[in-house]
């Protein structure tokens, strides 16, 4: 039996590692924890203050990658529901992040990046 190479799958795996993306739906608390750890890791010291970061939600992960793919510290996660995505966004906005919403009709993707 021969293995069939799925180049799209291989490419997507590479992109997920490159942008810290994992599109498996995650719980709200898990995304908040991952974003917080990411911020502390990427911007040590005074730069890890939330006011130096943006957060947004969208229904189109490809649009995020196209529009925001070159931004520093980009991380994208998929929430379980649009309501969870909005609650995650609200949580970080209350912490001082800036809003960078791309949105859409059913936004389940949440993303953060460093303000440029």
pTM recorded for the entire structure: 0.76
DSSP SS3 for 106 = coil
| Interval 64-93: pLDDT, tens | 777 765 778 889 999 999 999 999 999 999
39: buried, middle or exposed (CB in 10 Å: 19+, 13-18, 0-12)? buried
2-10 average pLDDT score: 51
The predicted structure's pLDDT at residue 116: 73
| Two tokens, residue 25 | 């739906």
Q: In angstroms, rounded to a whole number, what is the distance separating the alpha carbons of residues 1 and 54?
A: 48
pLDDT tops 80 at residue 37:
yes
Q: Are 29 and 72 in contact (CB under 8 A)?
A: no
Lowest mean pLDDT among 33-47, 56-70, 76-90, 91-105: 56-70
């Amino acid at each position: 039996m021969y293995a069939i190479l799925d180049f799209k799958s291989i490419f997507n795996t590479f992109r997920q590692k490159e942008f810290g993306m994992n599109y498996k739906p995650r719980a709200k608390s898990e995304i908040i924890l991952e974003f917080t750890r990411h911020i502390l890791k990427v911007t040590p010291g005074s730069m890890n203050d939330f006011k130096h970061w943006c957060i947004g939600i969208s229904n189109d992960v490809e649009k995020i990658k196209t529009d925001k793919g070159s931004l520093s510290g980009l991380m994208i996660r998929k929430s379980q529901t649009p309501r969870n995505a909005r609650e995650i966004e609200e949580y970080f906005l209350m912490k001082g992040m800036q809003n960078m919403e791309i949105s859409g009709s059913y936004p389940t993707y949440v993303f953060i990046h460093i303000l440029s």
